[in-house]
Structure 1
Amino acid sequence: MTIKSIKGCIGCGTCVKTCPTDVIRQDPKTKKAFIKYPADCQICHLCRMYCPVDAITISPEKSIPVVVSWG
């Protein structure tokens, strides 16, 4: 598993919208995010970077440093 957990989710859906590989889904009843396809995660960090409440934790053994291009 690449995304370790989504704890403290407020159900805003930002992680679902920002995930380029569509691995995160939103439960229709609780509106909380969950990891549907963890093996397909590309570790891009977009879900974690855009989460307004910092609810997403990425496993340290799978995590890579975020590379930012400064032009």
Structure 2
Amino acid sequence: MIELIVAERCAGCNACVEICPTNVLEPSLAGPPVIARQEDCQTCFMCELYCRGDAIYVAPDCENPTPVDKDEILASGLLGEFRRNHGWDEWAGQYPNEHWRMESVFLRARDMAIAEAAARREQQK
């Protein structure tokens, strides 16, 4: 489950907001995106993959929030580890596994989830 966005590392590109298939994040005018719906996080790690600043930490527990200490996460080397280990972007020459390059699939899934949520809201009126 997404636990942390490190403001000092965040470039404010909102790639994580755009790619999240369950709409967990909200863009912010002043600072990094906001974790608005943490309970909806499905622990797909897409936000980590698309964060070029390595500013996002997603804990492996997909059921419950995990208390984390920002300083410990920064010191641990975990930020960006998922991207590196999957050969993402600048790591492609060193880490050949690129099976996570499923951008269009996840974007379609996100669009479908948004449409379904809108339909549910409309039915509840």
Band the TM-score falls in, shorter-chain normalisation: 0.7 to 0.9
TM-score scaled to structure 1, two decimals?
0.77
Tell me which residue corresponds to 1:5: 4
Q: State the 1:53 CA deviation.
A: 0.7
Q: Does 1:46 align with 2:46?
A: yes
d(CA) in 2 for partners of 1:42, 1:12: 22
**Structure 2 residues not aligned, in runs of 5+:** 63-85, 87-98, 101-125
4+ residue runs of structure 1 moved beyond 4 angstroms? none
d(CA) in 2 for partners of 1:50, 1:6: 13
d(CA) in 2 for partners of 1:31, 1:6: 10
Q: State the 1:54 CA deviation.
A: 0.8
More helix by share: 2
The number of equivalent residue pairs is 64
1:1-71 matches, within 5 Å, as 2-7=1-6, 8-28=9-29, 30-60=30-60, 62=61, 68=99
**Structure 1 residues not aligned, in runs of 5+:** none
One-letter code aligned to 1:52:
R
One-letter code aligned to 1:45:
F
Instruction: Select the structure of larger CA radius of gyration.
Output: 2
One-letter code aligned to 2:3:
K
More strand by share: 1
Map Cα deviations across residues 3-31 of structure 1 (whole Å, 9 max, x no partner).
11000211101000000100011113x15
d(CA) in 2 for partners of 1:35, 1:42: 13
Percent identity between matched residues is: 37
Q: State the 1:58 CA deviation.
A: 1.1
d(CA) in 2 for partners of 1:49, 1:56: 9
d(CA) in 2 for partners of 1:44, 1:27: 22
